[in-house]
């Protein structure tokens, strides 16, 4: 099965507030994206491809409500807390934190964990606390992964090496995999590889050979888990990524990187079609 993931980050923020949203008002944004894409995605068999959209929390309920009866779209959240409610236990004392049970109750079926932006945030907090243990971020993410699976969510677990880590990329990825997936039901997890060193304006993305090399290594280390390209599935690399046998899909974020930069549902559909070779 192929996996097409969509990480909508904070693309809901209007342009007048410094964001990139010009497609719909804030209160309609989540439902708008689902409504504008789900019908055309029905052209693909759910046995062949999985579509998951990760929304900011404010849009989860509207997005779930916009799903039609036979929608091919699954709704996911952007991270969960490492602890959760439990019968005869903590009944909800988690101010500011979204637990996996809360996400499940809202209608989510998946969560993205370990994105490079989340890793960077956690590392910064630990650094402020004077903690230099390199495995600490991974252990926190592992708790999140296990909490998500306990609540019945599937997980897109992101790994990747920075520019400073590129020379020892195998060691870095192995550590992230072993720590993050410790005691985890791996059948509930898909791996997203993020070449952190290549993400951002003006940087050169990895070529087919590099992606193949890394994807093959991840499958070797994990015993054949599904791996998707997390460095940005987009119009100009969709066909190349589709030709890489060891990659099982991709993660889309922005669809337009020039002019009116932003996410546009019609361009998302064009990327999906290009990757899945409908055009």
Instruction: Return d(Cα 270, Cα 249) in angstroms, integer.
Output: 15
Neighbouring C-alpha atoms within 13 Å toward the C-beta of 37: 27
Instruction: Return d(Cα 255, Cα 188) in angstroms, integer.
Output: 28
Instruction: Return d(Cα 130, Cα 252) in angstroms, integer.
Output: 35
The SS3 assignment for 214 reads helix
Q: How many CB atoms lie within 10 A of CB 137?
A: 22
Catalytic one of 115, 118, 144, 161:
115
Catalytic annotation present for 59: no
DSSP 21: B
Instruction: Return d(Cα 14, Cα 201) in angstroms, integer.
Output: 21
Catalytic annotation present for 208: no
Instruction: Return d(Cα 53, Cα 164) in angstroms, integer.
Output: 31
- 249 backbone φψ class: left, alpha, beta (φ>0; ψ -120 to 50): left
Instruction: Return d(Cα 82, Cα 99) in angstroms, integer.
Output: 7
* Torsion sign over Cα 116, 19, 37, 26: positive
Catalytic one of 118, 144, 161, 194:
194
For 128, 158, 273, 279, the CA distances from 196, given in Å and listed in that order, are 22, 11, 26, 30
Q: Give the rounded distance of the alpha carbon of 192 from its chain centre.
A: 7
Active site residues per annotation: 115, 194
């Amino acid at each position: 099965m192929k996996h097409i993931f969509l990480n909508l980050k904070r693309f809901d923020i209007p342009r007048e507030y410094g964001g990139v949203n010009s497609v719909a008002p804030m209160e309609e944004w989540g439902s708008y994206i689902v409504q504008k894409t789900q019908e055309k995605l029905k052209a693909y068999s759910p046995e062949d491809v999985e579509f998951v959209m990760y929304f900011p929390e404010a849009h989860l309920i509207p997005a779930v409500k916009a799903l039609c009866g036979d929608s091919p779209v699954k709704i996911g959240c952007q991270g969960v807390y490492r602890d959760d409610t439990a019968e005869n236990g903590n009944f909800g004392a988690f101010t500011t934190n979204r637990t996996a049970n809360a996400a499940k109750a809202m209608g989510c079926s998946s969560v993205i964990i370990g994105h490079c932006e989340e890793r960077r945030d956690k590392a910064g907090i630990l650094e402020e606390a004077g903690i230099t243990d390199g495995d600490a971020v991974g252990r926190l993410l592992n708790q999140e992964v296990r909490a998500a699976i306990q609540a019945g969510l599937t997980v897109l677990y992101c790994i990747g090496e920075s520019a400073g880590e590129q020379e020892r990329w195998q060691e870095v990825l192995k550590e992230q995999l072993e720590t993050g997936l410790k005691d985890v039901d791996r059948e509930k997890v898909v791996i997203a590889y993020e070449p952190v060193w290549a993400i951002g304006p003006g940087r050169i993305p990895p070529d087919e050979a590099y992606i193949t090399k890394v994807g093959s290594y991840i499958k070797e280390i994990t015993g054949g888990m599904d791996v998707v390209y997390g460095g940005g599935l987009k119009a100009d690399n969709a066909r190349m990524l589709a030709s890489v046998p060891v990659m099982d899909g991709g993660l889309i974020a922005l669809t337009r990187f020039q002019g009116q930069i932003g996410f546009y549902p019609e361009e998302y559909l064009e990327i999906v079609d290009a990757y899945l070779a409908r055009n």
